[in-house]
Amino acid sequence: MSFNTNGATKTVKQLEEALGERLAKIRLGRNMTQAQLATEAGTAVRTIRRLEGGQGASLDTLIRVLLAMDLGSHLAAFLPDPSVRPIERVKLEGRERQRARNAHPASSTSGWIWDEDET
């Protein structure tokens, strides 16, 4: 299963299974047993089986396994670099955002509406 979603919505379960499948293929490509990987990652063989089977695992386990397989350098690819936001930086005059706020205050339950929203 591919991670490329290209308009197709994948469930969390499908993504877990695809990730587990990839991890298993990489492990086998490196001629490692699940027991060897578990030892290097500091976890149990059952945990490796669950991870590779797409049955869920903690973030801690995923990171340990990636580090044990020398894939730690790929961790940064999971999320984009949040510091690359030139337009927002200009709006904030170089300051970093500290809080989030409701993007649609008119849709709140306060009962307040804009003139255009009245029917």
Question: In the chain, what are the domains?
Answer: 12-74 (1.10.260.40)
18-25 mean pLDDT: 95
Q: Is 112 exposed, middle or buried (0-12, 13-18, 19+ CB in 10 A)?
A: exposed
Q: Residue 68: which of 26, 21, 15 has the closest Cα?
A: 26
Name the token pair of 119.
């029917």
Buried b (16+ CB within 10 A) or exposed e, 18-49: ebbeebbebbeeeebebeebbeebebeeebbe
Quick: pLDDT tens for 25-66: 999 999 999 999 999 999 999 999 999 999 988 999 999 999
Q: Say what the pTM is.
A: 0.63
71-94 mean pLDDT: 72
